[in-house]
């Protein structure tokens, strides 16, 4: 019993590493408007094609000591970090859910969030391929992997409408993405008109819509609260410790992505802990 479980976890981890290697291609190429299919992976510094044996997730980075084989240019550390994190997340998701459809949804969502976290942190860019593409995927998945949809159930009850779990899930996905992102957009516009400084980018709005499409009202609102808290803590720390200006731009998408992963995997535990602390 133990051996098959360990083998399955190892396989999930390996799949996560391999997908993580592709995520790094997306992280490097999408902000530059390049194809993620062609050409083959190459060194950004000397543009030499990377052979397969130098492209093994995590292991190649360690063997090459973080440098290109040909020009010895440093390989950015986010490459093994993304691969390793994606592998660990896949193994954890399999441990918790097996091969249930929710596991596939979580794995897909976590991988997309990892790309958005890193691209926004490095480039201040949230690629449409993931935000808009993820929004469409979230809507498409909603009738297949049901959302809890408490807000949508209440809405249908008030209207005295009959509903099925599939209808509730679809309504929750569409309503959460459009209403929360719409409010987020208006909030950013109000801030800009009052301060004449862009507080929220359109990419952040699209990312919020994507998260809403995947998880509905409750988890998206919790993600926004936690992302705002995390952004505030990091922003204050950068001002006090790194001597940054109070108007220094922060990659809010990175905080959104990190907290969205946490809420998707541990949202119920976070809420349970919070209410337990209040009682």
Q: What are the tens digits of pLDDT across the range 159-179?
A: 667 778 888 899 999 999 999
**Window from 17-31, 100-114, 200-214, 261-275 with minimum mean pLDDT:** 261-275
Burial class (CB in 10 A: 0-12, 13-18, 19+), 214: buried
Cβ–Cβ contacts within 10 Å for residue 155, how many? Answer: 16
Distances (CA, A) of 277 to 25, 110, 218, 220: 42, 28, 20, 22
Q: Is 147 helix (H, G, I), strand (E, B) or coil?
A: coil
Burial of 216 (0-12, 13-18, 19+ CB in 10 A): buried
Give the CA-trace dihedral at 15, 92, 134, 39, to 10 degrees.
Answer: -20
Question: Which residue is associated with the tokens 């998408």?
Answer: 253
pLDDT (0 to 100) of residue 236: 83
Strand partners, 74: 67
Phi then psi dihedrals of residue 142, to 5 deg: -55, -35
Confidence of residue 232 (pLDDT cuts 50, 70, 90): confident
Which pLDDT band holds residue 125 (cuts at 50, 70, 90)? very high
- Of 270 and 17, the structure prediction assigns the larger pLDDT to 17
pLDDT digits (tens, 9 = 90+) for 75-112: 999 999 999 999 999 999 999 999 999 999 999 999 99
pTM for the model stands at: 0.92
Which of 86, 94, 88, 61 is closest to 75 using CA atoms? 61
Query: Is there a contact between 84 and 13 (Cβ–Cβ < 8 Å)?
Result: no
For the record, the structure tokens of 93 come out as 């998701």
Mean pLDDT computed over 42-59: 89
Average pLDDT, the chain: 89
Tokens standing for residue 60:
């190649």
- 244, burial (CB in 10 Å: exposed 0-12, middle 13-18, buried 19+): middle
Higher model confidence: residue 186 or residue 155? 186
Position 247 confidence tier, pLDDT thresholds 50, 70, 90: low
- What percentage of the chain has pLDDT greater than the value 70? 94
């Amino acid at each position: 019993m133990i051996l098959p479980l360990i083998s399955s976890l190892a396989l999930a981890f390996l799949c996560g590493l391999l997908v993580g290697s592709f995520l790094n291609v997306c992280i490097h190429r999408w902000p530059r408007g390049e194809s993620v299919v062609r050409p083959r992976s190459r060194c950004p510094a000397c543009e030499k094609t990377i052979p397969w044996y130098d492209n093994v997730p995590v292991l190649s980075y360690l063997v090459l000591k973080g440098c290109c084989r040909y020009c010895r240019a440093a390989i950015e550390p986010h490459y093994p970090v993304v691969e390793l994190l994606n592998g660990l997340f896949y193994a954890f998701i399999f441990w918790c859910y097996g091969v249930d459809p929710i596991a596939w949804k979580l794995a897909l969502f976590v991988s997309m969030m990892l790309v958005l976290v890193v691209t926004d942190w490095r480039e201040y860019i949230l690629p449409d391929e993931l935000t808009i593409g993820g929004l469409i995927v979230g809507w498409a998945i909603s009738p297949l992997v049901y959302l809890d949809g408490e807000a949508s159930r209440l809405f249908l009850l008030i209207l005295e409408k009959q509903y099925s779990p599939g209808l509730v899930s679809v309504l929750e996905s569409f309503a959460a993405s459009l209403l929360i992102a719409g409010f987020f957009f208006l909030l950013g516009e109000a801030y800009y008109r009052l301060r004449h400084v862009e507080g929220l980018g359109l990419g952040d709005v699209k990312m919020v819509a994507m998260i809403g499409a995947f998880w509905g009202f409750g988890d998206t609102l919790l993600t926004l609260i936690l992302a705002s808290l995390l952004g505030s803590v990091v922003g204050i720390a950068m001002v006090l410790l790194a001597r940054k200006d109070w108007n220094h731009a922060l990659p809010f998408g990175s905080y959104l992505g990190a907290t969205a992963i946490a809420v998707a995997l541990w949202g119920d535990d976070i809420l349970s802990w919070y209410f337990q602390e209040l009682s």
